[in-house]
C-alpha cells in the first residue's frame, strides 16, 4: 500500500493506546463492585462496554479522517473517540462522571460527545446511523469537503434505521461511510441467529451502495477499505458500506458471564490480536524493534495513568448544577 513509516507507527500507537485505556478502565470498573457485583458502586457506576480486540476497525477508519469529519458511534465508543484524537483526560473524567469531563460528567461512558471533534455516541442501538446521514446531508447542502462516518454493530444492522439510512444516503448520494463492526454477537445472540444474510456487505447491493467485507483484525485491510470509501465520498460519489469482521476480547458488558461462547473460541481469536498482527508486520519489515514496542507501551501506560489521576482528583459536578447542560 506504500504507507509511510510514520503512518504505520501511528496506527500501531493508536491501537496500543485504545487497548491500554480499555484494559485499565476494565480494572478500575470493578473497584468496590465485588464480590456481589453492585453495578452502582465504585468510581465508575453503571454499565461498561469495552472495545478491546476491535482496535483495528476504529484505528484503520479514523486514520483517514480529518478532525471536522463527523463520526457517530455506539454504546461501545471509547475506541472510536480515541482514534478520532480525543484527549484521554477529558474522556476518563467523563467516564468517572466528573465535572472536568467532556459533558461535565453528565453523559458518562455511553454518552461521549465532543463538538470539537464532531463526535457523538449513545446507547440506542442503531441511533447513530441516521444521525450520520443527517450530517452528510448537511455537508452536501453546504458544499463542504467533509465525510460522515457511522460505526455500529452487526446487531444494529437489523434495525429499521439502518435500512432507511442506506436507502436515503444512496438516493441523495450523500458523503457517508457505514462501518458495520461484525463482532459475531449482539449481546449473546450470534449473528447467524439474527441476520438473514451471511455478510452485511451483501446488503449494500439492495440499496445500490458499494460494499466490502474486510478482515477487521487487520488494521491495514481496514485502512485500505476505509480510504477507498472515504475518498469516494469526498469525490461526491456517494455512500459506501464496510463490514469489518472482528471480535471483542471482553464480554458484551463487564460482568457478562459469556455462557454463549464456544469452548476455546476467544483464545482462538486472540491468536489474531490486531496489535500483534501489525506489530509482527512492522518488526518483519524492520520498522519496529522489541525495545521500541515496549517504549510505546510504556508511553501509553503513562498517558492512561495521567488520565486516571486527573479523573480521580477532579470534583463531581455541584448538586445545584444538576439540571445545567441538559436538554429540558
Ligand atoms: C434500540 C435498542 N434496542 C435494544 C437495546 C439493548 N442492547 C444494547 S447493546 C445491544 C446489542 C448490540 O449489538 P451490536 O449492535 O452487534 O453491537 P456490539 O455490542 O456487538 O458492539 C442491545 C440489543 C438498545 N440499547 N437499544
Taking Cα atoms as reference points, which of 171, 183, 180 lies closest to residue 200? Answer: 180
CB of 298 shorter than 6 A to ligand 1: no
- Closest ligand 1 atom number to CA of residue 152: 15
* Contact by Cβ (8 Å): 125, 156: yes
Distance set, CA 235 to CA 1, 63, 78, 239, 326 (Å): 21, 18, 29, 11, 38
Task: Please tell me the distance between residue 156's alpha carbon and the centre of ligand 1 in angstroms.
Answer: 7
C-beta of 210 in contact with ligand 1 (< 6 A): no
Q: How far apart are CA 57 and CA 82, in angstroms?
A: 12
The H helix count followed by the E strand count for the chain is 11, 8
Q: List pLDDT tens digits, range 200-242.
A: 999 999 999 999 999 999 999 999 999 999 999 999 999 999 9
Given a contact cutoff of 8 angstroms between Cβ atoms, the answer to whether 279 and 293 are in contact is yes
Would you call the peptide bond into 35 cis, given omega within 30 degrees of 0 as the criterion?
Answer: yes
In the reported structure, the alpha carbon of residue 148 is separated from the centroid of ligand 1 by a whole-number distance in angstroms of 22
Domain 5-321 sits in which CATH superfamily? Answer: Thiamin diphosphate (ThDP)-binding fold, Pyr/PP domains (3.40.50.970)
Q: How far apart are CA 12 and CA 284, in angstroms?
A: 14
Grid cell at residue 145 = 469537503
Helix (H) or strand (E) holding 119: strand 119-120
Q: In whole angstroms, what is the distance from residue 103 CA to residue 105 CA?
A: 5
pLDDT at 98: 98
Residue with cell 470498573: 29
Residue whose grid cell is 477529558: 90
Angle (CA) 201-203-205 rounded to 5° is: 95
Whole-number Å distance, alpha carbon 178 to ligand 1 midpoint, is 17
d(CA 303, CA 17) in angstroms, rounded, equals: 8
Q: Which three cell numbers stand for residue 81?
A: 473517540
Q: What is the pLDDT of residue 80?
A: 98
Which helix or strand (DSSP H or E) is residue 106 part of?
none
Candidates 27, 18, 84; CA nearest to 51 is: 18
Give pLDDT, residue 328: 65
Going from the C-alpha of 317 to that of each of 34, 132, 221, the distances in angstroms are: 26, 30, 43
Can you tell me the distance from the alpha carbon of 75 to that of 248, in angstroms, rounded to the nearest whole number?
Answer: 13
Residue 325 is predicted with a pLDDT of 85
Tell me phi and psi for residue 190, to 5 degrees: -70, 150
pLDDT given for residue 1 in this prediction: 73
Low-confidence stretches of the chain (pLDDT beneath 50): none
- Ligand 1 centroid distance, CA of 152 (Å): 9
The pTM of this model reads 0.98
CA dihedral sign of residues 129, 135, 139, 142: positive
**Four-CA torsion 31, 81, 109, 325, nearest 10 degrees:** 130
What does the block give as the cell for 269?
481469536
Q: Please give the angle made by the CA atoms of 262, 267 and 269, to the nearest 5 degrees.
A: 90
Nearest CA to ligand 1 atom 12: 186
Q: CA 89, CA 275: separation in Å to the nearest integer?
A: 23
- 74, 187, 256: which to mutate for ligand 1, most atoms within 8 A of CB? 187
| Distance, CA of 63 to CA of 136 (rounded, Å) | 19
Amino acid at each position: 500500500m506504500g504507507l509511510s513509516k510514520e503512518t504505520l507507527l501511528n496506527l500501531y500507537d493508536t491501537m496500543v493506546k485504545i487497548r491500554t485505556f480499555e484494559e485499565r478502565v476494565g480494572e478500575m470498573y470493578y473497584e468496590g463492585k465485588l464480590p456481589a457485583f453492585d453495578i452502582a458502586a465504585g468510581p465508575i457506576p453503571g454499565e461498561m462496554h469495552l472495545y478491546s480486540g476491535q482496535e483495528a476497525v476504529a484505528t484503520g477508519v479514523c486514520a483517514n479522517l480529518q478532525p471536522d469529519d463527523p463520526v457517530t458511534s455506539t454504546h461501545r465508543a471509547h475506541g472510536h473517540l480515541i482514534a478520532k484524537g480525543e484527549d484521554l483526560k477529558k474522556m476518563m473524567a467523563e467516564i468517572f462522571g466528573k465535572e472536568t469531563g467532556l459533558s461535565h460528567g453528565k453523559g458518562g461512558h455511553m454518552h461521549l460527545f465532543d463538538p470539537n471533534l464532531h463526535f457523538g455516541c449513545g446507547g440506542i442501538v442503531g441511533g447513530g446511523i441516521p444521525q450520520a446521514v443527517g450530517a452528510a446531508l448537511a455537508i452536501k447542502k453546504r458544499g463542504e469537503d467533509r465525510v460522515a462516518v457511522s460505526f455500529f454493530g452487526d446487531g444494529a444492522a437489523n434495525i429499521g434505521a439502518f435500512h432507511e439510512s442506506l436507502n436515503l444516503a444512496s438516493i441523495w448520494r450523500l458523503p457517508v461511510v457505514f462501518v458495520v463492526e461484525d463482532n459475531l454477537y449482539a449481546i449473546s445472540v450470534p449473528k447467524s441467529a439474527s441476520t438473514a444474510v451471511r455478510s452485511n456487505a451483501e446488503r449494500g447491493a439492495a440499496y445500490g451502495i458499494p460494499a466490502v467485507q474486510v478482515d477487521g483484525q487487520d488494521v491495514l485491510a481496514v485502512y485500505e477499505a476505509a480510504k477507498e470509501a472515504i475518498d469516494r465520498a469526498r469525490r461526491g460519489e456517494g455512500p459506501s458500506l464496510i463490514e469489518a469482521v472482528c471480535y471483542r476480547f471482553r464480554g458484551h458488558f463487564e460482568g457478562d458471564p459469556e455462557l454463549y461462547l464456544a469452548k476455546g473460541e476467544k483464545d482462538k481469536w486472540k491468536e489474531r490480536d490486531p496489535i500483534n498482527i501489525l506489530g509482527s508486520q512492522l518488526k518483519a519489515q524492520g520498522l519496529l524493534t522489541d525495545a521500541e514496542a515496549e517504549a510505546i507501551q510504556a508511553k501509553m501506560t503513562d498517558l492512561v495513568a495521567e488520565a486516571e489521576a486527573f479523573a480521580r482528583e477532579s470534583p463531581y459536578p455541584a448538586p445545584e448544577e444538576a439540571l445545567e447542560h441538559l436538554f429540558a
